[in-house]
Chains A and B, each alone.
Chain A
């Protein structure tokens, strides 16, 4: 199958899974921003996306996407290391137009993955997972308070009342921003939807999109950090 055994095919897998994940992030960011405007509306979304079959199926789909993106990243990185050869250059001068992010996508991806694990522990574990274990009437204990897994706004407020979580999430979002500034245009390039004219357009679209996306996420983190439990 050419998607597995050709270099261009493997990159197409990276590109398509990457673009799908960007679309998911877009949905997630839109959902998060609701928490700033209405705690009730956000909790309603949480109830909708709890342990219901469609949400569980979508979650499994996401896991498959991330696993695919990550496994192919490992394969590509190992192949590329091998292709570089055993001898390394004694002196290297990085050309000006080579962006830092483009040469560190794997490391950035690893940081994003670690952040994701923390994120699953903070939220998914107390929400969908709790419901999967104990049904819709589940109760989770956070900081001495007993909460329903659907009270998403309270869980956000609890998490971001800790400064170290705020810091870790901001570092995570920063890594994701760098990853996306290269990932978005690079994904289009891999699909062949690029050229001399579109190169700068995709780069601009990618940078603006990544920035807006990360700002949406960061605003929620900072909003709940600044106003604390008052917001919930």
Chain B
């Protein structure tokens, strides 16, 4: 049985990257606890619009935990404390209690400048991907699927790495603003497969160089990233990236 709860939302308002930003807050009354967090924010915005105030801006898209568009740092945790590893859209109000104060902040990282309120510019991730997160494929007749045999374990591991949706929770959680969990997952998904090997050295060097250039921090293995990753990526990927990078540099 759903019950209704009342709570206070403290949300971040900021007009662009140069603005100092500040918190505003709103009392929310009688919200059914099976409302999703984003639906609750929709209700909040509707109330703000009815009051003639500017609505709160936040990122969202598919709302089914696949696209990686949601962000939001909720009560000190990226994506909030969801029931299982999941993104903000899969967070429900039953995770909160009557009378709670819910603090909503943007991903705070120098490499993710705020566009407005809690919407941040995560195009830095696209730039890292564009630097080498692909395999060069000559189009034409596709070869037989069994021409390259891949052990099931490797295929599974590569798939697990590829499930990273690039939401940026790892950067948001990291005290160093490091993007290593994201970059290492993207490096790993190719490094584990024979199709990715020919360009492995060039890829890891290009992606790490781009990551450094865009102002992400250095990884200090605190594991905050893997604790909040909605796709359960682990720092084993980071070890693999380090290995690939060292191999590539030693070969040079």
Contacts and interface: CB of A to CB of B under 8 A. Distances in A.
Interface of A: 2, 5-12, 76, 79-80, 82-99, 102-103, 105, 182, 185-186, 189-196, 199
B3 to A, nearest CB: 25
Most-contacted residue by chain B among A5, A8, A189, A194 (CB, 10 A): A8
* Dominant secondary structure of chain B at its interface with chain A: mixed
Contacts of A189: 221, 235, 238-239, 242
Given A98-B223, A102-B223, A182-B221, A89 B76 contact: yes
Nearest to A76: B218
A186 B215 contact: no
Contacts of A87: 21, 108
A99 B77 CA distance: 16
A195 B241 CA distance: 11
A195 B218 contact: no
A102 B176 CA distance: 12
Contacts of A10: 218
Contacts of B220: 11, 76, 80, 102, 105, 186
Contact of A11 (B23, B77, B219, B236): B219
A193 B239 contact: yes
Contacts of A86: 110
A102 B21 contact: no
A90 B218 contact: no
Given A80-B218, A90-B105, A85 B177 contact: yes
Contacts of B73: 89
Contacts of A79: 217-218
Interface residues of B, number: 50
B234 interface: yes
B100 to A, nearest CB: 12
Given A7-B212, A11-B220, A90-B103, 18 more contacts: A7-B178, A7-B208, A7-B211, A8-B246, A12-B246, A76-B218, A80-B217, A80-B220, A82-B215, A83-B110, A84-B108, A85-B177, A94-B224, A95-B227, A98-B227, A103-B175, A189-B235, A193-B239
B108 to A, nearest CB: 5
6 contacts: A84-B108, A91-B105, A98-B227, A102-B221, A189-B221, A189-B238
Contacts of B212: 5-7
B239 A83 contact: no
Contacts of A76: 218, 220
Contacts of B195: none
A194 B220 CA distance: 14
B208 A6 contact: yes
Given A93-B75, A189-B239, A85 B222 contact: no
A95 B221 contact: no
B138 to A, nearest CB: 31
A200 to B, nearest CB: 11
B111 interface: yes
A76 B176 CA distance: 9
Given A2-B249, A7-B208, A195-B240, A186 B23 contact: no
B58 interface: no
B205 to A, nearest CB: 8
B182 interface: no
Interface in B1-39: 10, 21, 23
A189 B235 CA distance: 9
Contact of B236 (A98, A185, A190, A194): A194
A225 B227 CA distance: 44
Contact of B215 (A83, A88, A93, A95): A83
B44 to A, nearest CB: 18
